[in-house]
Every structure is written in C-alpha cells, then in structure tokens.
Chains A and B, each alone.
Chain A
Amino acid sequence: MGALLMLLSAAQRPGPEPAVLQYPKNWPAPRYDFSRNPLTREGIELGRRLFYDPVLSRDSTLSCAGCHLSFTAFAHVDHALSHGIQDRIGTRNAPALANLAWAQAFMWDGAIQHLDFQALAPISSPTEMDHSIQKIVEKLNASPRYPALFEAAFGTRKATGERVLKAMAQFELTLISAGSKYDRMMAGTDTFSRQEQNGYAIFQKNCASCHAEPFFTNFSFEKNGLPLDTMLRDYGRMRITQNPADSLRFKVPTLRNIEFSYPYMHDGRFRKLRDVVNHYAQTTALDRPLELSANEKTDLVAFLLTLTDRAFLFNPDFSFPKE
C-alpha cells in the first residue's frame, strides 16, 4: 500500500512548468508546432544555457552567442562574415534572430526547414563550431550539471540529440521582438514623427512587398540585385533547389532591430543602412530600383530605426544565464 501511495505521489509531482509564448493579438498563429515540443520554463532555461555554452564547439571556445549577441539583435556585430573556432572565417553574415516561431526556413538559402534542426548546421560546419551532435551529447551526459537540467526539462537525466535540439529551439522560440516604436504605433500607444511617418509611407510603397509587416519579411527567397562576390561565389537558394531560376536568391531577412544588426546583406558587404538604401536606388539589376531623393532616403532610414526594440535587446531573460 505504501508503494502504491508513493507511485501516486510521484504521478502528482509537478513536472516542468508550462510556458506560453506572448505575442501581439493581431499577429497570426505561430508556424512552429508546439504540440511536438511543448514550451516549459525548464526547457527554455536548458536551451538558454546550451545557447550560451561553448561546449557546443569542438574546442569548447565558442557558443551560439559568439555570433548571435543578444544586445546586437542576435547578429554578429561588426563582422561581415562570421568567424568560427580558431578564427576560421565563414562565407555568410550571421543573421539577426527574432520571431523564429513564425519562420518558414532557416539560413540565407533556406537549407534548414525546421527550427529544431537549425543548430545542427553551425555545430557541424568546419568554419563555425566544427563539432558533432554525437560528441556534444557525450559531453553533456558526462557533465556534472547538465543531467539535472535535462531531468528538470524532460523528466530524464539523459541527454539525446532530440532533447538538445528541442531545448535550444524552445529558447529560440521565446526570442520575440514586438516592442519597438513601430509596434507601439500600431497599438495606438505612440506616434511617429513627421519624418518617420513619411519614411513609413515610402517603406510601404517600395519595400513592404518583400519585407512584409509585421515580421518585416515575406519569408521568401528574392533577388536583391547584388552582384556575385567572385571570391565567395555564393549563389544562394540555387545550392539547395539546384534550379537555375533560384540563382542569387537569398532569404528576405527581417528588418526588426536593423539599427543593431549591421553589417548588412548575406555577406555583410554594407556597413551602413544608408549604403543598403543607396544600393536599391542605384542597382540596374532589378526591375524597379527605388527612386528616392536624398531627403526621402533619410526619412526611410528614420522609419527603419523605429523597428528597434530595446526591451528585446536588453531583455534579461535572453542574456547570458547567471548561475
């Protein structure tokens, strides 16, 4: 009878605490299927620790945060091409991270179709972490502190590839940026300056078909008129689809927190927002280059700065976990 009571009490013991994603009411439902990976406070916390732990790299020197810094929009500030362990330089600019629960594909060429699997790419890339999920799981299972974290999150002390990836996805799913001046404006709790309002009108007319609100991306792969970098020879989406029509198509990045995610474009070739706007005004490779006066360009940039979300950038829940 005592054993039965013990079983009952074990069944009633609280498991991980469910967590709910908070986002604006007028946003669509997330694309991520939470039924396969229910968010929990402990799962998110485990994912956060993994995100910030250099154990994920072969020589245990580099964490995800090495290239995705919270206070610079989870991008790699000042690095056109991100570097991995031992100063190895990659071929692309680390993208800003935000609102990943709505994303449809990951990486500049959409090579990864599901957030769970995204981390495998930088983990395995020789120019990034140069490691393997097998080795990472071994290291975590031998670690003095991770088994307890896995037990709290998944009810078992054993780390597996599935649990590592799901925990990291849980943390990444919480990276929601919806607190910019633009968002307050949409909610009716703030107002644009005349310059910002003018910039918003220019944006809606010229940019919003690809950088669609509220995520500031239509999640598709588009040609942006940039000439091929003859050293990198990166043809973007074509590498994945093997379809020549996809040559030089890259994923449309979000513009949220763009003030902090410089340098810009898939290879980081532009250091200033103004350079990006000038590219779209000058390119002859697109059907419809922007026709903007110098003042209009300034107004457009003023609007883009309203996408900065300081509550997101400095959210203590997103920063390095303290013991």
Chain B
Amino acid sequence: MKHLVLCLKYAGLILLCFPAESQNIISLNLGPFYKSEKIALGESLSTPDSLTLHQLRFYLGHFTFYQNNAAILEDKNYHLFDLEEASTLNLTFNLPQNATFDSLAFNLGVDSLTTASGAMGGDLDPTQGMFWTWQSGYINVKMEGFSKKCPARNGEFQFHLGGYLPPYAANQRVELKTGGNSENLLLTLDLAPFFEQVNWVDKHNVMSPGAEAVRLSGILAKSFAIHAQ
C-alpha cells in the first residue's frame, strides 16, 4: 500500500514537472465577416439590402496540419460551429511536440464515408438539427436570415446546403497556407462572395441536395482565410 502511494506521488510529480514540453496546443478561432464587417446574428449589416443573419451553423472537420506538404496532425472529428453559441467558435489542436506547420486543410461539411457510417454522437448527433430526416445526409451549412433583395415572404432566405451522393456531393475540402507557425489562428469566413452570387430570383430557399447546393458550397469553400494572431 505504501509503495502504491509513493508511486502515485512520483507519477504526479513527473506530470507536474513536464507539462509545457509535452504540449503544443494550437487555438483556432472562427469569425464570419461580410467583407471587413463582423457578422452578429440579428444585426443588420451596412449593405444596401440590410442583410441580416438569423442563424449560421456549419460543420468543419477532418482538420489536417501540414509542414512542407507532410501531414503532422490529422484529426478526423467534425465540429459544429454555431454563431449563437460562442463556445463552439473555438477549437484547439494538440500538435506533436516541437512540430511546426505552414498550411492546414479541412472539410466544409461532412464527408460521404462518415455520413454512410450510421448514427453518430456529439456534434454529429441527429438531435443537433443538422440532419435531414426525409433523405439521409447532414446539412453541412444552415444559413438563414433577411435581405431586401429576397422576394420571399418577409424577405427571409433559407440556405440548407448538403448532400453527399454523387453527382451532388456538397462537401468541400478547403486548403489554406498559414504562412508559418502560430499558436493562435483566426479562421475567417467572408460571406460577401456568397451573397453577391445568390440567385435571388428563384433560389433563395435551398433545402435539398442538388446543383445549387453544390455551387453555393463551392463559393463558401473559397471564402475562408487564415490569419496568424
């Protein structure tokens, strides 16, 4: 018994002595913008159409960090970012000790293999409201709000982008150069290109897989940028 207690004590001491060396934590914060204007839910942007977002939720996952094109960390998990829940806008990654990186990649939306693997828990649990019930598949991006340009009732638009079966698989891989190593990264998503290319006449409600969901997902995938802080 005495030996056991001593062993536990020393184990604790060892852990206390070497915390910094064993960790290489990268913090990634997510921020949605409209050009340089930060987006807050329910607040009109200074655009001519008084664009306002009421909901912005999307899946990012399968993050991979690279140094000289060699993967140094691959994390296959998916995370649900919800602009309404501040705690979801930060992610941390524990990189190998002393590892550095110069680029990273991630999926916008859930890949087909994961989707086809059956019920999942956590952020992928169907209770998150991001899974279509009438047709299998995750809603990769849920974006709802108001625009004066939108001819729908009350000017309200709904974009539920998803679909994982060819030819309408909407999941996108995003690759970004980080320009060097940093412990704090800001991942921005500029929604201006998306809203400039929305077909307001008849595609302001997209709620099923198809060509439009793929097109709009492609625009979003090109609208991410990474900044070392």
Using CB atoms and an 8 Å cutoff, list the residues of chain A in contact with chain B.
Answer: 1, 4, 33, 36-37, 111-117, 120-121, 123-125, 133-134, 137, 160-163, 165-166, 169, 240-242
Contact = CB atoms under 8 A, between A and B. Distances in A.
Nearest to A112: B136
Interface of B is mostly: loop
25 contacts: A1-B1, A1-B4, A112-B135, A113-B115, A114-B116, A114-B118, A114-B119, A116-B118, A117-B136, A120-B126, A120-B131, A124-B134, A133-B127, A160-B121, A160-B125, A161-B119, A161-B126, A161-B128, A162-B119, A162-B120, A165-B126, A166-B118, A169-B119, A240-B135, A242-B210
Contacts of B126: 117, 120, 133, 161-162, 165
B132 to A, nearest CB: 8
Contacts of A165: 118-119, 126
Contacts of B165: 113, 241
A37 B117 CA distance: 10
Contact of B133 (A36, A113, A124, A166): A124
Contacts of A241: 165
Residue from B116, B126, B131, B133 having most chain A Cβ neighbours under 10 A: B126
Nearest to A4: B4
A162 B136 contact: no
B118 A169 contact: yes
B1 A120 contact: no
Contacts, number: 74
Nearest to B211: A242
Given A117-B131, A133-B126, A163-B121, 16 more contacts: A37-B119, A111-B134, A111-B135, A113-B115, A113-B116, A114-B116, A114-B119, A116-B119, A120-B131, A124-B133, A133-B133, A134-B129, A160-B121, A161-B126, A165-B119, A166-B119
Given A1-B1, A114-B116, A120-B126, A162 B133 contact: no
Given A114-B116, A114-B136, A162 B4 contact: no
A162 B121 contact: yes
B127 A134 contact: yes
Given A36-B118, A114-B116, A117-B118, A162 B125 contact: yes
Interface string B123-152: 001111101011111000000000000000
Contacts of A120: 126, 131, 133
Contacts of A124: 133-134
B116 A137 contact: no
A213 B157 CA distance: 49
B168 interface: yes
Contacts of A123: 133
Interface string B8-30: 00000000000000000000000
A113 B137 CA distance: 9
Contacts of B210: 242
B136 to A, nearest CB: 4
Residue from B119, B129, B135, B137 having most chain A Cβ neighbours under 10 A: B119
Nearest to A124: B133
A121 B134 contact: yes
Contacts of B136: 111-114, 117
